[in-house]
Copies of this chain bind each other. A is one copy, B any other.
Amino acid sequence: MNEVKKESKQGKIRAQSEAKIIEAAQEEFILQGYKGATVQSIADRAGLPKANILYYFKNKENIYHAVLEHTLDTWDKGIGDIDPDQGPKIAIEKFIASKVRMSFQHPSSSKIYAMEIIQGAQHLKEFARTYLRKWVREKAALFQHWIDNGEMVDVDPYKLIFLIWSTTQHYADFEIQVLTVMNRAEYEEEDQEQVTAFLTDIILRGCGLK
C-alpha cells in the first residue's frame, strides 16, 4: 500500500527525467550502438549532466534495458489483436495497417528492436522464446484455420507473418535507404497511406483474397 503511494509521489520529477533519458538514449543507441553511445552523449542529448543520468539509472546497461522495455511496450500497445471472427481479409488488413502505422509513428522503436535481433538478441532471447513464439503460434493457427476452411490460399502462415513483419518494418528500419533511393528528404503524410494500400493490395491478392 505504501509502495504505490510512494511511487506516485516520487514519480513527478523522476518520471519526467526517466522519459527524457530513455528518449535520448534510444536515439544514441541507434546512431552509435550500445558501446558507442556514451553516458555523456546521452546526457547531452537529454540536456542533463552526466551524473544526473547515473542517479536515475544505476549504469548504462540499465538505461539500455529501459529503452528495450519501452520498445516492447510501444510494440505491445500498437498492435491490436486479431479478432478471429472477422475473417482473414479484415484480419490481414488490420494487421498490416497497424504495423505500418507503428513503422511510421515509432521508427526508433523498430530500429532498436531490429539492431538487438541482428546482434543476436542477447537481451530479447527470453522475450522471443516465450511471448513472441506464443503470439506467432496463435496467429498462425488462426490463418491455418482459414486455410483449412478454404477462406484463403494455402500458404505457410508463419512465413506469411514474417512477410508482413518484414515488409512493414522495412519502412522504419531502412527509412534512410528508402528515402535516398527515392531521392526524398523525409516521409510525408500520404506515404503511410500509400504503403498501407500497396502492401494490403499485393498481400491480399497474394493470399487469394482479392
Contacts and interface: CB of A to CB of B under 8 A. Distances in A.
A174 B117 contact: yes
Main secondary structure of the interface of A (DSSP, over half): helix
A112 to B, nearest CB: 9
Number of this chain's copies in the assembly equals 2
24 contacts: A31-B119, A32-B33, A34-B36, A35-B35, A36-B36, A114-B114, A117-B173, A120-B176, A121-B180, A128-B181, A133-B180, A156-B198, A159-B194, A159-B195, A159-B199, A160-B202, A162-B171, A162-B174, A165-B174, A166-B167, A166-B169, A166-B174, A167-B167, A203-B206
B177 A132 contact: yes
Contact of A133 (B117, B165, B173, B183): B183
A12 to B, nearest CB: 35
Contacts of A32: 33, 35, 119
